[in-house]
Amino acid sequence: MAVTKPLRAAVIGLGRAGHIHTAVLRSLDGVALVAVADPDPVRRAAFDSVHVAASAEDLLELELDYCVVATPIPEREQVGRALAVAGVPALIEGPIAPSLPAAMRLAEAFDNAGLLGAVAQSERHNPVVKELGLRLRGGGFGSVYQVATRRYDRLGDHSPGVGVVAQMAIHDVDLAMWLTGSHVTSVAANVARVSGGGHEDHAVALLRLSGGENADIQVNRISPRKERVVIAHTDRGCVVADALTHTIIHYAHDGLDDVARTADPTSYLPEKVTSYEVPVADPFRGQHEAFRGALLGLSSDIATLRQGAATIAVTEAVITAARTGACVTPTDHVLPSASLRSAQPVAFRPT
């Protein structure tokens, strides 16, 4: 049997996120963590069994198959573009850049190089969310006309310099587009800060999507109650995916034709409600498995860099809508159908 060499991977940025990535890469089949980079010597000192460098540029001669970029947000464009120029595929933490133009430059750099670049969009790989997406796409739960998400946590400001919209709501913006297969055409929002932090700590956003769907997103990073729920209303009922209880509950109805005209007291009966237990799995690991699959040319549900740019267009619109009180159209006209594009797997270059 032919033995394939493991993919040679490196992690750039060794903060909390970088440590999670290195731990996953050390245990991922078919992948070898061969190098890390960080300008901070204290953080570098924790790694002695791999090549250790002070900057991404110092890794470019190592014949890497890919890098994970887990630097602070302002550094991601420069680091990512250096990788693209050097021909190294990358999985980049989200938001991939501090602004839409920077995100577009990054996406274009990878596209122009014909390289695989993806956003570390771990929430798509949360097992209940992934299952919800699979079943919706398979037609099992019907077609979506409304999405609601609730993401509450006591995270504080773990992404220095960003508010809850870029830290948390960006995941739900991605999920709304991913689950519906549509892009966002208008945004109304309110964001506010009630804690001592420098940025907004809770937000509500209402999105209209290109297929006529609507989504409402609630996030709060100072809540003592943790919640991670995605609800999809479809022409076949209502599906509630709860990432904390690892369950999906489908409340079925027979179709939309009669529901507006007739109340149906039987719709709450147990025979119309189906619960699914979804096996627990690590979303971080899931996104790495998906990226590895894409790199190997297998079908894989990764978030492309253009999709990452599209989410930034929407989160920027959320902030503008909240500031102005107006409905805002995301400035992603430069991203035709970005939300609908599937990943373009790049054939793995055998080493």
Nearer to ligand NAD, 71 or 315 (CB): 71
Strand partners, 204: 190, 218
Q: Is 36 in the site for ligand NAD (CB under 6 A)?
A: no
Query: What's 167's DSSP letter?
Result: I
Residues 6+ apart with CB under 8 A from 257: none
Q: Is 10 in the site for ligand NAD (CB under 6 A)?
A: no
> Shortest distance, CB of residue 49 to ligand NAD, whole angstroms?
19
Residues 6+ apart with CB under 8 A from 137: none
Segment contacting ligand NAD (CB under 6 A): 32-40, 108-116, 126-134, 338-346? 32-40
Strand partners, 305: none
Tell me the backbone φ, ψ of residue 65, rounded to 5 degrees.
-85, -30
Query: What's 141's DSSP letter?
Result: T
Cβ proximity of 115 and 92 under 8 Å: no
Segment contacting ligand NAD (CB under 6 A): 38-46, 60-68, 178-186, 295-303? 38-46
Q: Is 18 in the site for ligand NAD (CB under 6 A)?
A: yes
Segment contacting ligand NAD (CB under 6 A): 64-72, 135-143, 191-199, 261-269? 64-72
* Contact residue for ligand NAD among 32, 43, 99, 329 (CB under 6 A): 43
> For residue 111, what are the CA distances in angstroms to 153, 182, 279, 340?
36, 22, 36, 16
Q: Is 131 in the site for ligand NAD (CB under 6 A)?
A: no
Q: Is 71 in the site for ligand NAD (CB under 6 A)?
A: yes
From start to end of 182-258, where are the E strands? Answer: 184-192, 202-209, 214-220, 227-234, 237-242, 247-252
> Shortest distance, CB of residue 95 to ligand NAD, whole angstroms?
7
Nearer to ligand NAD, 46 or 326 (CB): 46
SS3 category, 31? strand
Which parts of this chain interact with ligand NAD (CB under 6 A)? 12-18, 37-40, 43, 55-56, 70-73, 75, 79, 93, 158-160
